[in-house]
Chains A and B, each alone.
Chain A
Amino acid sequence: MLPDRYCRLLTAYVDGELSSRQRRLVVRLLHRSAEARQLFQQLKADAHALRHLPRPPLPTDLTEPVLHTITARNLTTGRRRLVKAASTSMWIRPVASWAVAAAVLLALGVASYFYFAVSLDQSAKTEMAHKQPELSNPSPLSPLPSPPTPTAEREPQTPKSDERIADRKPQQAEGEKRKAESGKQHRNQPKVSPADKPPPPKEETVLANRPEMFSLDRVPDLLPVVVKISELDRVSARRKLLDELRKDSVFHLELPCPNGAKAFDRVQNAARALHIGLLIDKQAQERIKLRWRTNYVLYMENITPEELTRFVQQIGAEDRKSTADKKNVDAQIDYLVLTRLTAGARKELATLLGVDPIPMAPSVTGPLGADPRSSLSEATAHPVGQTWARQGEPPQPEPGKAEAKPSEQVALVLTYNPARPSAGSEEIKHFLEGRKPGRTGALRIFLVLRSVS
């Protein structure tokens, strides 16, 4: 075994970082020690193997994402300390939410304890009240009830089969009836015959106060996926969201926000940045103008998972842009909750639109007279264009410059809460008439901007 001092010299020799005196020493060592020669050869081979590991190519050019993030987060050179300070305050939020969750659990635990304690106490009192008359006024004709054996006591407490639990309600009702009869008898008839004597109270009275049993059913994979929007700047987070979006073709998205009106500004800016047209229902337009606190719904079709991811990312970017350097402006959108469209949500969507937009049967015309298969006609394009013009988008081309390419994507914006859109509104009708045949892998999304306090 080589001494550690020699091993160190050998590793440094492999690194090529020895003085001339040390090198001479190592050469002498290698000359006289076979073990040193072997170790040196091995270390050299390892270094060679490391140097010749394949160089993986960079899968994508990072220039664009880096510059985009700089713009989106409004980063500047020399703001590192500020960012650090901000990030320190950011951890308080998850800690606070954990604390709230713990407090809620504790409250639930305490409430359950008191609930069951009171219930059990009441049943015990009922039982005592039932026994007491018998003990205080023992009938000369009826013998004293024999104390229940430990077995008899234990037996009813342990339900042996499901039948016992299933039958507990009729038994309880029967018990109550008997108790009432027994009370009556005690009041009116001091002497009770053994035949009329109420049966001893059963433990099922206690059982009946236990929480109702329920069976677990298998449910479809509808668990929501929660995505932190700020993390969408990361490739891995985007990939995860994309993977989720590729699992189905219709999704229900929720963007919880403190104020739906403010959050809608961010969505509108994001849509403008990505050239997504917003076809806003008249009622929604009024509420947006008045900046009333409202929950909004966006319904989109023919949007690919990549486009949707980009849209959500842009919403986050717009939110950060609005809050950057403004002390009085709160962040509106932190998380995206993604679920596959449930039957309930689909029904809700159908109610809002006045037609179920999900199935696209070939020869079916919707109740509003819209053919879902028809492409965007001139007649439709015109009112859509007018609506855009009313909202100031898309921007009018400057004189002398080429006209901007019209948007491919259109999102229908409706109010959701507290006001609902009027059934068969002009905007809904135009949207449905302007539907295009779906692209491969494209999605339909029902996005809700929900104000949460």
Chain B
Amino acid sequence: MSADDQRLIAECLQGNTAAFGVLVRRYQERLYHSVYRLVENAEDAQDVVQEAFLNAYQSLDGFKGDSRFFTWLYRIAVNTAISFKRKHRALVHLETQNNGEYALEPLDPSAASRPEHALEQAEQQMRVRQALARLSPEHRAVLVLKEIEGQKYETMAEILQVPIGTIRSRLHRARLELRELLEKSEQKE
């Protein structure tokens, strides 16, 4: 854990709420990106991140500093997102169905030099996103942690609070399931 994070946490514990504001500003973007991939909706992702920060604030005295602050915070956010997804499993967001994400997230403008490449890339991204959305929250979480966050098995095990062997087998199943879903979507086209 960085010395600066440690200092800010100490200040928070002494009642300085503004110090927590610095931590929120520091990690919100990164946390939001991963949570967004877990819940597939911008508003829900904001709610989950906000809730995660509030939970973290209330549990701050329980943070022992054994791991990095972000890892600890990330654990809270991932657990909040997973339980959120479990609660809202029956709901299907129109945004996902309509692939409205494209309207919100413009593609890299440099790709405009090759229109067909941009189109292929957009289609591929859409397929991957749809396949990811169809995975169970647990499988999605390991893939997001591994590929989007670039975490090691050990850190993932710490975040998800499961043994490394479980992470290994979950990732294995998640990759194969994702492959199967992608193959199906490719066959449809």
Contact = CB atoms under 8 A, between A and B. Distances in A.
Contacts of B125: 49, 52-54
Interface in A62-83: 62-63, 65-67, 69-71, 73, 75-80, 83
A66 B168 contact: no
B17 A71 contact: yes
B21 A63 contact: yes
A12 B13 CA distance: 41
A50 B36 contact: no
Interface of B: 12-13, 15, 17-18, 20-21, 24-25, 28-29, 32-33, 36-37, 42-44, 46-47, 49-50, 53-55, 57-62, 101, 104-105, 107-108, 124-125, 128-129, 132, 143, 146-148, 150, 152-153, 168-169, 171-172, 175-176, 178-179, 182
23 contacts: A7-B176, A14-B175, A17-B168, A43-B175, A46-B175, A49-B128, A50-B148, A53-B37, A53-B128, A58-B33, A60-B46, A62-B24, A62-B28, A62-B46, A63-B28, A65-B50, A66-B57, A67-B21, A69-B50, A70-B20, A76-B15, A80-B58, A235-B50
A235 B46 contact: yes
B50 A66 contact: yes
Interface of A: 7-8, 11-12, 14-15, 17, 39, 42-43, 46-47, 49-63, 65-67, 69-71, 73, 75-80, 83, 233-236, 239
B52 to A, nearest CB: 10
A11 B167 CA distance: 12
A235 B128 contact: no
Contacts of B49: 62
B24 A54 contact: no
Given A67-B20, A71-B17, A235-B43, A78 B172 contact: no
Given A77-B13, A77-B61, A15 B171 contact: yes
Contacts of B107: 54
A67 B25 CA distance: 11
A53 B121 CA distance: 10
Contacts of B169: 8
A72 to B, nearest CB: 11
Contact of B132 (A15, A39, A50, A54): A50
A170 B69 CA distance: 83
